[in-house]
Chain A
Amino acid sequence: DIVMTQSPDSLAVSLGERATINCKASQSVFYRPNNKNYLVWYQQKPGQPPKLLIHWASTRESGVPDRFSGSGSGTDFTLTISSLQAEDVAVYYCQQYYTAPRTFGQGTKVEI
């Protein structure tokens, strides 16, 4: 199984400041036939299901604010919130969708 490890487990960021979350996969999730990294980022708020923010490591979903960006390739990935807003307080998960079983990171709690 591919192990996904996020860092940090939690972080506190001031409003308007940058938040950076890292995700490391135990093996590459890069698929050569289409040059895509099969890595997604989810945002989860209390009592809600996860919301898909980014797929293919860096492609934002429709309607997701452009302050959210994803980067990285192979085994190392980053989610950046460029200017934290109050509504961004949540737990963020990375997940690989390169192969089954699908595996998630342990989550990173972002607070103000």
Chain B
Amino acid sequence: QMQLVQSGPEVKKPGTSVKVSCKASGLTFTRSAVQWVRQARGQRLEWMGWIVVVSGNTNYTQKFQERVTITRDLSTSTAYMELTGLRSEDTAVYYCAADPRATLTTPGKYLFEYWGQGTLVTVSS
């Protein structure tokens, strides 16, 4: 069983950046892909992008293309999502999720079955 533990809540001012971490344990991190999804209060889930851990290859949705960077640190089995140019509309819970068998999966068809607990990011002046 894979476990994903995310960093704690953040309060940020507009125009600044936030970096949320997602530490994996329980399965081989290097075989995984990790996605980031966010959810504003009362809204639907919104996919932001993913990283294939072994290669570092990323895929971002166009909406966030200029503002989001997803990275990983193999030494600590941790994935990161950094969002720049924060605005009030970015206030949301940010989730990471992992497919622990991504390297065995048809590329791009990852099944993100394990989720982190979520990180509330509040953007307010």
* A positions within 8 Å CB-CB of B: 31, 33-34, 38, 40, 42, 44, 49-52, 55, 61, 93, 95, 97-107
User: Can you offer 18 A-B residue contacts whose CB atoms are under 8 A?
Assistant: A33-B106, A34-B106, A42-B45, A44-B45, A49-B97, A49-B116, A50-B95, A52-B112, A52-B113, A95-B45, A97-B111, A98-B109, A100-B50, A100-B108, A101-B47, A101-B61, A101-B62, A104-B46
Question: Which among A55, A101, A104, A105 is the interface contact of B111 at CB below 8 angstroms?
Answer: A55
Nearest Cβ in chain B — how far from A95, in angstroms?
7
Q: Do A107 and B111 touch (CB < 8 A)? A: no
Closest A-B pairs by Cβ, 10 of them = A101-B61, A49-B115, A102-B47, A104-B45, A52-B113, A106-B44, A100-B59, A49-B95, A107-B44, A49-B118
- Nearest CB in chain A: distance from B5 CB, A: 12
| Extra 19 A-B pairs, beta carbons < 8 Å, given A55-B113, A101-B47 | A31-B109, A49-B95, A49-B117, A50-B45, A51-B115, A52-B113, A93-B44, A97-B110, A97-B111, A97-B112, A98-B109, A99-B108, A100-B59, A100-B61, A100-B108, A101-B59, A102-B35, A104-B44, A107-B44
Distance in angstroms between the alpha carbons of A93 and B115 in the assembled complex: 15
Chain B residues within 8 Å of A98, by CB:
109
Interface residues of chain B, those whose CB is within 8 Å of chain A, are 35, 44-47, 50, 59, 61-62, 95, 97, 106, 108-113, 115-118
Please classify the interface of chain B as helix (H, G, I), strand (E, B), loop, or mixed, using the class held by over half of its residues. loop
Chain B residue nearest to A47 (CB atoms) is B118
